Amino acid sequence: MSLTNASPEQAARAAKISSRTLATLSTDARNAALDAIHDALKDSKEIILAANSKDMEIAQKSAAGGELNPSIVKRLDLSRKGKFEDMLQGIRDVRELQDPVGRVDLRTELDNGLVLQRQTCPIGVLLIIFEARPEVIANIASLAIKSANAAILKGGKESTESFKAIATVISRALESSEVPNDSIQLVTTRDAVDPLLELSQYIDLVIPRGSNQLVSYCQKKAHMPVLGHADGLCHLYIHSDADKDMSVDVVVDSKTDYPAACNAVETLLVHEQALDTVLPSVASALMAKGVVLRCDLSSKAALSKHLANEQVLLLQDASDADYATEFLDLILAIRTIPSIDGNPSSAVDAAIDHINTHGSHHTDAILTSSKEVADRFCNAVDSACKFWNCSTRFCDGMRFGFGTEVGISTNKVHARGPVGLEGLMIHEYRLAGNGQTAAMYGASGGRKFTHKKLAV
């Protein structure tokens, strides 16, 4: 890992060059490098925690002076119980994943002795921009090496000392491995983000890890593709035939399990026939968990009939802006979906329209006992994840069984939804022959392609 003083361009060029060597290394060579990093970090715990305490000291002062959000200080702290060990275990977990490189997913005989093969290969150079969490550096370095991608890491200024210490350890560990030292570049120069985002000749993909603002900024500025999502404005729709108890469980979990997560629900859509039957229990359970409800006129009127007076007093009126807001907090906007011509099954279309218009195409869910209605919803909602009768909180790489999560993408190309190691790969075509020319297959050449599918 190259340290600290390279210019953005030097770092990116070095990463690009080393990426070609990295791409040719065996699974064993890459796994051995992960072992070396794991062991070196384990042995250097004290040095790293000492560096981290310097960052903490400055951060705590800034927080006390009101210049820094206390939640950043918390994320910065590597000495919290289990955090360092979790970081080490994360490296082991990535090491144990199946090698994503060189997986053949298509083999075709174009003609006798002319065989085409498509196989996965690393993308090349990743730029990872992240905020305070210092353990991310170990996680990202592991993912990059496992997937044979070079990576340029740009961290937040609050964790500079921790980054430097971890980077030094990783750098020394890589020296004993076949992975080129330049494969992982740490950039700590100030104002490096803008120039890095323009270096599309060296950098193939940007992965911002942090706030919505960071992601939006990268999406606007980057000259190369960006993997991620700026917003997670997720919806739950309670259809007329939704089960009451299931609705209570799923809505409460989707809102309160971790309100600051991108897969937490922000707007609840309720079919008008469920206003008096399902919504009161749901609302009551949410309020018991401290959730503030912002209601449209119909839902407020229904709840006012059914809830206790002290709860009714806490209901708020929803504004249009509430339906376009990712609260990331214990606040939920509620909107009533009317039956069209009294037909509940076409009402799902109004819910779909609301979601496609107001949502962020991340995760949207329906509660209904009808498979037909659920299919209609899943077919028409334009989101990465469409869930039926379960919590939006399941949108997650670990929960999906991917072993790791690079991020969640709302992109319409490459990777969408929770992204595992697969999202760090692209494919290449290899064609092996014995002297075949295109002219042999032209009108004059007379040979015909067989295009025979071969086993992979």
Tokens encoding 182: 């330049």
Which residue in 81, 189, 190, 182 sits closest to 141, CA to CA? 182
- Cβ proximity to its own copies: between 86 and 317 the closer is 86
> At its nearest, how many Å lie between its own copies and the CB of residue 247?
9
Q: Minimum CB separation from its own copies for residue 351, in Å?
A: 13
Cα distance between residue 307 and residue 408, in whole Å: 37
User: Hey, what are 284's tokens?
Assistant: 């009551």
Shortest CB 226 distance to its own copies, Å: 10
* Nearest to its own copies of 23, 173 (CB atom): 23
| Smallest separation (angstroms) from its own copies to the CB of 252 | 8
Q: What is the secondary structure of 168-185 as a DSSP string? A: HHHHHHHHTSSS-GGGEE
Sheet holding 452-453, edge to edge: 114-122, 104-111, 452-453
What's the closest the beta carbon of residue 229 comes to its own copies, in angstroms? 14
The strand pairing partners of 114, in sequence order, are 111
- Least Å distance between CB 107 and its own copies? 11
Minimal distance in Å, beta carbon 441 to its own copies? 7
Looking at the Cβ atoms of 116 and 330, the one nearer to its own copies is: 116
Rounded-to-integer distance, Cα 92 and Cα 283, Å: 43
Q: Quick one: 57 or 372, whose CB is closer to its own copies?
A: 372
Using the minimum distance from each CB to its own copies, give the nearer residue, 264 or 334. Answer: 264
Residues belonging to the chain: 456
Whole-number minimum distance, CB 144 to its own copies, in Å?
A: 15
Tell me the C-alpha to C-alpha distance, in Å, between residue 307 and each of 242, 253, 288, 304, 315. Answer: 20, 21, 12, 6, 10
Spatial contact of 430 and 116, defined as CB atoms under 8 Å apart: yes
Lookup: tokens for 2: 């190259």
Please check whether residue 377 is in contact with residue 410, taking contact to mean a CB–CB distance below 8 angstroms: no
Which of 356-380 are b and which e, b meaning 16 or more Cβ less than 10 Å from the residue's Cβ?
A: eebbbbbbbbbbbebeebbebbbee
Task: Give the residue with the Cβ less far from its own copies, 75 or 416.
Answer: 416
**Maximum distance among all Cα pairs of the chain, rounded to whole angstroms:** 88
Closest approach, Cβ 419 to its own copies, in A, equals 11
Would you say 316 or 345 has its CB closer to its own copies?
345
Which residue, 41 or 381, is less far from its own copies as judged by CB?
Answer: 381
Residue whose CB is less far from its own copies, 160 or 345: 345
Contact 180, 22 (CB under 8 A): yes
Query: How many angstroms from the chain centroid is the CA of residue 262?
Result: 9
Tell me the closest approach of the beta carbon of residue 350 to its own copies, in angstroms: 13
Q: Contact, 127 vs 202, CB < 8 A?
A: no
Q: Is 448 helix (H, G, I), strand (E, B) or coil?
A: coil
Q: Which is nearer to its own copies, 142 or 254 (CB)?
A: 254
